[in-house]
Structure 1
Amino acid sequence: MSDLQYHVDGELVSAASATVSVRDRGFQYGDAVFETLRVYGGEVFRWEAHADRLAGSTEVLALEHGLSNAELKRRVDETLAANDFADASVKLSITRGVQQGKLTPDPEIDPTVVVQATPLPRGGVEGEPVWDEPATLQTVKTRRIPDEALPSRAKTHNYLNGILARLELRVSDADEAVMLDGDGHLAEGATSNLFFVDGDALCTPSLDGPVLPGITRAAVLDVAEAEEIPVREGAFTPDDLRNAEEAFVTNSTWEVRPVETVDGISVGGGPVTTLLRRVFDARIEREYYRSDVDGDADSADNDGPDT
């Protein structure tokens, strides 16, 4: 992977020579936004949804970069083509650019735009998950930043909240942190959305709390609706998750990842997680690899994961 190509400010450059200024506000203050994109068969999963979320992040930061969604997508596609990646993870970052070293940003900006790509295994029915084992979760003391301080819908380069949460895992065998809001309710993982099954319902923390509106989260809820699985979005406690019949976490890279334990308590997967993973994979197979899938749920013929 020494010959990887990144896209930096409109130009393809080798990963070894890809740099940004030490005066860039993304470096100095985390004054930047980003999206992590999953690519299947050369196509970005739910690009429109990612573009909308990116626009929401820039709106929160008043970061008027002046680039159209079409131009951003062109740079992503050029990066994939330059690396000959059909299946990959892509990080698209936009910073406020280089300015004088003061906290208050200048109104006029020359944004820094960087596209990085990393190869991943094939997705869909014929693919393999990027994770080796089900997730092990640990509830941490680090609380999710309240929306009144930093809106959760803004996906910024300042990821210290999640980093502090992950640092707490060093004293445990867990590989994902469960973060709570200020009232002690479930919010999200450090890099994932939380789901669990209670009775006959699929439960997930509501976006009314400090929860990032995950793109894969929304795709899973689409599948649940198509499969007529009752869904409850609301405020839940750590005990609700610990006592769940089954649980899983989602993000663009993990897709649907079953949970094995929560705070050392066995939870495990189950029929709902298995069904959601199967239908999700079938949709990816049909929409992105153009392959017919035999024996999958009828809902796999419904609208695919693109919006």
Structure 2
Amino acid sequence: MAERLYHVDGELRPRSEATVSVEDRGFRYGDGAFETMRAYGGAVFEWAAHVDRLEATCEAIGLDHGLSRGDLRERIDETLAANDLLDAYVRLSITRGVQPGKLTPGPAVDPTVVVVAKPLPRGGLSGEAIWADDGPAALETVRTRRVPDEAIPAGAKTHNYLNGILARRELHDADEALVRDGEGYVAEGATSNVFFVTGEGVRTPTTDGPVLPGITRRVVMELAEEAEIPIEEGYYEPAAIREAEEVFLTNTTWEVRPVRTVDGIDREVGPVTELLARLYDERVETACY
């Protein structure tokens, strides 16, 4: 099998040679932005939303990389083509690059830009979820709390993922961590947004709290509104999740993943979750295939 090719600083390089400097600020300090995307049938799903969020992250951390949207998209397309990939995981990373070894960043930026692409199953109506072999998720409330927005902007998708790593390390027989904010309200998963279903409709934690505004989260909320399913954002305690009729998680790679247990309490994969998952597949099919 041919070695996979990654895009590093404007060049396609074999995976074994795709490296960055040990003096890169992304390595030293987590000083960088990234987006995880999915390509379906060779098309990057929700590209505009992803690049909008990438720009917002760069603005939040003061990273003026000077690259156009067209340039970034071209690097992604070149990576997919070079690896002969139509259905893939794509990660685009931009760091502040190599600078003198001090915490304060310099104003001049020579960014490090890396695109990684890996094969995934086909999506849409004929596809299979990447979590299918593992089944619905087990969700577990952890002690680790979400970093306050006043400390690190919740909407910034940076290379510093220590908060999520610590949350995942607490798990005992579970797939995803249920992370609360400083007040004890549910925020999100370590790498996912959380939804639950009650007799009144679909509920999800508000992005007024320290919650990353997920792209898949937004699409699912749009689909719920189009299907005339009542949806509400708010502040919820873990008990609301444990007592819900249905629970599911969303992120770019999982798409819509039902939850089978919450803190050891069994949950059914119910009709609302199944409907929204099907509607999501239909959206992907229409947009990309």
Query: Scaled by the length of structure 2, what TM-score is found?
Result: 0.98
Aligned partner letter, 1:256: V
Aligned partner letter, 1:186: V
Is the CA contact 2:45–2:287 (under 8 Å) kept in the aligned structure 1? no
| Aligned ranges 1:283-298 → 2 under 5 Å | 283-289=283-289
Distance 1:268 1:146 in 2: 32
Report the 3-state secondary structure (helix = DSSP H, G, I; strand = E; otherwise coil) of the residue aligned with 1:247: strand
> Structure 1: which 5+ runs fail to align?
290-307
Equivalent position of 2:255 in the other structure: 255
Distance 2:60 2:239 in 1: 33
Q: Measure how far apart 1:268 and its partner are.
A: 2.4
Distance 1:186 1:230 in 2: 20
Q: Measure how far apart 1:2 and its partner are.
A: 5.2
Equivalent position of 1:18 in the other structure: 18
| Aligned ranges 1:159-170 → 2 under 5 Å | 159-169=161-171
Distance 2:2 2:130 in 1: 21
| Structure 1 residue 222 corresponds to structure 2 residue 222 | yes
Equivalent position of 1:68 in the other structure: 68
Equivalent position of 2:192 in the other structure: 192
Q: Measure how far apart 1:35 and its partner are.
A: 0.2
Aligned partner letter, 2:224: A
Equivalent position of 1:135 in the other structure: 137
Equivalent position of 1:9 in the other structure: 9
Report the 3-state secondary structure (helix = DSSP H, G, I; strand = E; otherwise coil) of the residue aligned with 2:56: helix
**1:281-300 C-alpha deviation (Å, 9 max, x unpaired):** 112112211xxxxxxxxxxx
Report the 3-state secondary structure (helix = DSSP H, G, I; strand = E; otherwise coil) of the residue aligned with 1:161: helix
Equivalent position of 1:30 in the other structure: 30
Distance 1:2 1:58 in 2: 34
Equivalent position of 2:102 in the other structure: 102
| Structure 1 residue 150 corresponds to structure 2 residue 152 | yes
Report the 3-state secondary structure (helix = DSSP H, G, I; strand = E; otherwise coil) of the residue aligned with 1:142: strand
Is the CA contact 1:2–1:16 (under 8 Å) kept in the aligned structure 2? no
**1:91-110 C-alpha deviation (Å, 9 max, x unpaired):** 10000000000000000010
Equivalent position of 1:201 in the other structure: 201
Is the CA contact 1:223–1:279 (under 8 Å) kept in the aligned structure 2? yes
Is the CA contact 1:89–1:117 (under 8 Å) kept in the aligned structure 2? yes
> Structure 2: which 5+ runs fail to align?
none
Report the 3-state secondary structure (helix = DSSP H, G, I; strand = E; otherwise coil) of the residue aligned with 1:269: coil
Is the CA contact 2:79–2:117 (under 8 Å) kept in the aligned structure 1? yes
Report the 3-state secondary structure (helix = DSSP H, G, I; strand = E; otherwise coil) of the residue aligned with 1:125: helix
Runs ≥4 in structure 1, deviation > 2 angstroms? Answer: none
Q: Measure how far apart 1:145 and its partner are.
A: 0.3
Distance 1:199 1:186 in 2: 19
Is the CA contact 1:2–1:15 (under 8 Å) kept in the aligned structure 2? no
Is the CA contact 1:192–1:249 (under 8 Å) kept in the aligned structure 2? yes
Is the CA contact 1:31–1:157 (under 8 Å) kept in the aligned structure 2? yes
Equivalent position of 1:212 in the other structure: 212
Q: Measure how far apart 1:269 and its partner are.
A: 1.4
Distance 1:29 1:280 in 2: 36
Report the 3-state secondary structure (helix = DSSP H, G, I; strand = E; otherwise coil) of the residue aligned with 2:170: helix
Is the CA contact 2:197–2:244 (under 8 Å) kept in the aligned structure 1? yes
Equivalent position of 1:58 in the other structure: 58
Distance 1:95 1:268 in 2: 42
Aligned partner letter, 1:211: V
| Structure 1 residue 179 corresponds to structure 2 residue 179 | yes
Equivalent position of 1:49 in the other structure: 49
**1:7-50 C-alpha deviation (Å, 9 max, x unpaired):** 00000000110000000000000000100001100000100000
Distance 1:65 1:190 in 2: 28
Identity, % of aligned pairs?
64
Distance 1:217 1:2 in 2: 36
Report the 3-state secondary structure (helix = DSSP H, G, I; strand = E; otherwise coil) of the residue aligned with 1:222: helix
Q: Measure how far apart 1:192 and its partner are.
A: 0.2
Distance 1:277 1:106 in 2: 45
Distance 1:271 1:239 in 2: 22
